[in-house]
Structure 1
Amino acid sequence: MSYPNCSNPSSFILTGIPGLEDAQFWIAFPFCTMYFMAVLGNITLLLLIRRDPSLHLPMFYLLSMLAAVDLVLTTSTMPKLLSIFWFQSHEINFEGCVAQMFFTPSLFTVESGVLLTMACDRYLAICKPRHYSAILTGPTTAKLGLAAVVCGTAIVTPLTCMVTSLSSCSPRVTHHSYCQHMSVLKLACGDTQPNSICGITAATLVVGLGSILIAASYILILRIIGLSSREACLKPLSTCGSHIGVTLLFYIPGLFSFYTQRGQSIPAHLHILMADLCLLVPPMLNPFIHGMRTRAIQEWMLRLLWQKGIKPRS
C-alpha cells in the first residue's frame, strides 16, 4: 500500500497495522466502541468518587488516579489511530510523535506505580487494620501518586530525548499505529543499540520491580488470610481478586507487546494489534472490575437507582 508523502520534512507517516490495511476500516469500529466505553467508564468513576463524601478514602483516591491515567493514556493515541483507520490520515507532526513517545511509556510507568500502591493499600487494610488510617492518610496517598508521576517522567524523559536527538536516514514511515519508541528508533541512523538497551532495561526494571513487590504484598496477605476463618477470608479475597485481575490485565499484554516486537517469530500485524489493544482493553475494563466489585460503589449505584425511581432486582 502506498502512503502520501510528508508535507512537512519533520513529519512521520504512521502506517497503522501492516498487512491489515484493507480491514482497518472495520477494525476501527470495535476500537471506537472500546475507546468510548473506556472514556465513559473512567469519567463516571471519577465523578462518582468526587460526588460521594463516603468514598473520599485512600482506596478510592487510588482508583481515581488509575482512572485519570487510563483516560490520558487512551486519549493520547486513540483519536489519531481512529483517524488513520477511517480517514487515511497517516501523517503526524514531529511534536505529536514526540508527545506519543513520551506519554505512552510514562503513563504505563505511572499506572504500574499506582497498582503497586493499591497492593500496599490492601496489605495495610488486611494485615495491619489498626494502623491503616494512621499510615495511609489522604496526604500520604497524594504523595505516593505524585511519586509515581515523578518516577514515570524521570525514566521516560531521557529515553525520549535519546531518540529525538538521533537523525533519520530513511523515509519517516513508521510501521505502527502510533509513535512507539522502538518503531521510531528503527528509522534512525547510526548506532541505536544504547537506546535499545536503555529501553529494555527501563521496561524490565519497571515491570520486574513492580510485579515482584506486588507479588510479595499478596504473599503476606495470603499468609494472614490463611490464619483466619473461612468467612473472614471471603471479603479480602474478593477485594484482592479484583486488583490481581487488573494487575494481570495490565502487565501480561504489555510485556507480550514489548518483547515480541524485538523478535522475528511473531507476525508484525499481531504484535502491533496487541500493542493497540494494550492501550484500550485495560482502561475499558478497569472501571468495571474495580468499580463494580467495590461494595461502597455498588451501594452508591443502588441509591442512585432508587432516587431515579428504578427498583433494582434483589
Structure 2
Amino acid sequence: MDIIIAVMSSIILFSVVPSGNSLGLNYYEKTCPDLEFIVAKVVSEATSKDKTVPAALLRMHFHDCFIRGCDASVLLNSKGSNKAEKDGPPNISLHAFYVIDNVKSEVEKACPGVVSCADILALAARDAVFLSGGPSWDVPKGRKDGRTSAASETRQLPAPTFNISQLQQSFSQRGLSTEDLVALSGGHTLGFSHCSSFQNRIHNFSATNDVDPSLNPSFAGKLKSICPLKNQAKNAGTTIDPSSTTFDNTYFKAILQGMSIFSSDQALLDTPKTKELVSKFATSKEAFFKYFANSMIKMSSINGGQEVRKDCRVVN
C-alpha cells in the first residue's frame, strides 16, 4: 500500500502537457476518480511477483505509440487472416499483456465503459518506471483505442541496428526531437535483449572487423561467449544494462564506456548534440529523469484511436 501511495503522491513532479492537445490531466476526475490508484495497485502487485514486468510495460507502450499513435493497437489479438502488431517480428518478445488485462478488469468493475486501454497502458508504463526507481509524471488522459492492428506495420519501429540518421528520422516523423530520442533511448536501462538484436556487432561486423571496434574488447568477448555464432541457445541474450531492473542512468555511462548493447545505442555518440546529451545524462541522473519524463508525456500524447474498448484484446 505504501508504494501505491508513493506513486500517487509523486505524479506532480513533472506535469508538462504539450499545447494544442485534446488530452487532459483531469479527464476522468468525475467519471473514474479511482483510476490511477487502481492502475498503480495492479502494476505494483505484478511487479512484486515478476521484476521483468516494468521493462515489459514500458516497451509495450513505446511500441504502441510508434505505430498509429498511442491507441492500444499493440494489445489487439490476431484474428482470422489478419496478423496483429503483437505478432509482428519486433513484438514477438513483448510480454506481460496479462497485467493490462488485469487492470482493465478492475477498472471496468469501478467505471464500466469509460476508460480506454490506451490510457491504461500509458498510466501503467508511468507506474512501471516509478516502481523501478525512476521518475514519475502526471499523465494526460483521454486517448481513444484504435480498431486497426497490422503486423506488417511493425516495420515502422526503430530497429536496434539503426544509425543516427535513421533514428532521428524515425523520431522526427512522430514529432519527437533529438532530445526526445536520447532521453527515450534511456528506457533501455530496463530490460533484456536476445542475441539476434546485437549479433551484427559481435560476428562478421565488417569486411575488416569481426567485432564492432567501438565495443570495449572485454565486453565484446563476454557477449560473444553468451551468443556464439554456432550452437546458440534459443533464448540466449543479456540484460541491456547491468542494473536491468532499476531505472537509472547506468545506460548512458555504459555507452561512454563502449559497453552498449545495440548499434542504435552506440549511434548516440555519432553527432555532437546527441553525444553531449549522453554525457549530460551519464553525469546527472536528475537531468535524465527530467528529460525522460517530459519526453514520455510528449510521446504518449500522440493518439489516433476511435473507441473505448470493453476488452483490450478485441475491438468492440
The TM-score bracket by the shorter chain reads: under 0.3
Rg bigger for which structure?
1
Counting helix residues as a fraction of each chain, which structure ranks higher?
Answer: 1
